[in-house]
Structure 1
């Protein structure tokens, strides 16, 4: 009788009404779910990881600091809805980080901290090396102005309202700038200036 009571106590929690039953939890053994991606990492990212090891061996503090910051930002981006999957995205991240370093250097100079300004400028220079060697085609202001001019003419020819030209031009340029290194902020400024002229 005691064994029957024990069985009842153990099994009693499993006897739920059909509407409250839950599927059993299945534990997966083996690899982590996020490591099963078949996408190869961008070549530039692989280079950065290799250079991180070299910088550690050589005790290159400036390069090590830059590489750790970029790789940390890449890791953080992988946890969002827009992970970095291409060299173009990685170059955009490098540009953004470089711009922040240059702004910091300017602020340090204004505050009279030449030592910190020099450090930030050195880090921006290291990022420029990676940008130059990324293999991603960069477009300068003159090339952008030419593309924007053509897109504005096409938008006006299509009868786009003057208030909607900036948005229409940005949409038209999105496909032609795919896979190229473009400072989107600079592009938006050029489009606004040329659309108003």
Structure 2
């Protein structure tokens, strides 16, 4: 079952429960899926769905940081709820230890020895980890291993 189908079902449930906040976030996700579908001109693959959800999650996390800086507690709470809801559709996030193992394997696979090999390592790591960890965490861990 595609994520869009699951989101549509959850929209119906939120409508019946009259949960306006959840409904707003779900409708936003649905719109993002539909816009991406129109842009690509075909049904989204599972990888494309994960990429889209990761992008939406990243936007919310960036917004959360800005709202905290501006002392907008009302928006911080609302954004936290949206992050939890979007996170429900993402695969379980990998721990740093699990990420370290994947990154170590990639480093040894390409015989990476310095930061010059950063792109090669990231090229191997990102398809494996797609949607299962934040890009900035992966970036930091790869740099730590290459230094």
Same fold (TM over 0.5): yes
User: Where does residue 97 of structure 2 map in the other structure?
Assistant: 142
**For the residues of structure 1 that align with 2:12 and 2:59, how far apart are their CA atoms?**
25
Question: Which of these two proteins has the greater Rg computed from alpha carbons?
Answer: 1
- How far did 1:72 drift? 0.8
- How far did 1:95 drift? 3.0
Contact 1:92-1:181 at 8 Å conserved across structures: no
1:85 to 45, 50, 60: 45
User: Where does residue 152 of structure 1 map in the other structure?
Assistant: 107
Task: Determine if the alignment matches structure 1 residue 95 to structure 2 residue 54.
Answer: yes
**For the residues of structure 2 that align with 1:76 and 1:182, how far apart are their CA atoms?**
24
Deviation by residue 1:49-97 (Cα, 9 ceiling, x = unmatched): 11112212222111111111111111111122486321x4323322332
User: Where does residue 28 of structure 1 map in the other structure?
Assistant: none
- How far did 1:130 drift? 2.9
May I ask how many residue pairs the two structures share in their alignment? 146
**For the residues of structure 1 that align with 2:80 and 2:110, how far apart are their CA atoms?**
41
- How far did 1:178 drift? 6.9
**For the residues of structure 1 that align with 2:94 and 2:114, how far apart are their CA atoms?**
26
User: Where does residue 87 of structure 2 map in the other structure?
Assistant: 128
Task: Determine if the alignment matches structure 1 residue 186 to structure 2 residue 145.
Answer: no
1:165 to 86, 92, 117: 117
2:17 to 38, 58, 63: 58
Structure 1: gaps (5+ residues): 1-41
Q: Secondary structure at the match of 2:39?
A: coil
The structure with the greater share of residues assigned to helix is 2
Could you say if the C-alpha distance between residues 180 and 98 of structure 1 is closer, same or farther in structure 2, counting changes exceeding 3 Å? closer
Structure 2: gaps (5+ residues): none
- Which TM-score applies when normalising by structure 2? 0.79
